[in-house]
Amino acid sequence: MAPDDFEHEQATAYHVKGRGLVVMTSCGHRGIVNSVRAAMKVSGVDKVHAVLGGFHLAPHALDYQRQTLAELKALNPDVLIPMHCSGGAFISMVPQEMPERFIRSSTGTRFLFGAS
């Protein structure tokens, strides 16, 4: 057996004109903040419009989840959409800390991000 370092995992980023980056992960084992910062670096775009996907925080301690949320808040996205493996505890924290930026997602939810 060999441990998986998840180096193969990817995130997808789009630059939406006039709004900023939309960063989408599957199950963000490499760290959602790391993925967003990497997208910012390679794109040269500092504004983050939306972060969505699985943030893989469910198995982590609450202090780590709080730290992740604080770092996401510092990145100042317009919209934060944590899904599945983000975990119930983290998903519950977001509307408390960022109520105007939180969007709850479920199976079948569709998101459209348009240029301004």
In a domain, 61, yes or no: yes
3-class DSSP state of 43 = helix
User: Could you tell me if 83 and 108 are in contact, meaning their C-beta atoms sit under 8 angstroms apart?
Assistant: no
pLDDT per residue as tens digits for the range 8-56 = 677 899 999 999 999 999 877 678 999 999 999 999 999 999 999 999 9
- Of the chain, the percentage scoring pLDDT greater than 70 comes to 92
* Whole-number Cα distances in Å, 104 to 46, 81, 87, 90, 100: 25, 6, 12, 12, 12
Task: Using only the alpha carbons of the chain, give its radius of gyration.
Answer: 14
In a domain, 37, yes or no: yes
Q: Which domain holds residue 55?
A: 19-97
Q: For residue 30, what is the DSSP state?
A: T
Q: What is the residue-averaged pLDDT of the chain?
A: 91
pLDDT per residue as tens digits for the range 54-97 = 999 998 999 999 999 999 999 999 999 999 899 999 999 999 99
DSSP string, 77-109: -SEEEEEGGG-HHHHHHHHHH-TTTB----TT-
Q: For residue 58, what is the DSSP state?
A: T
- Number of compact structural domains in the chain: 1
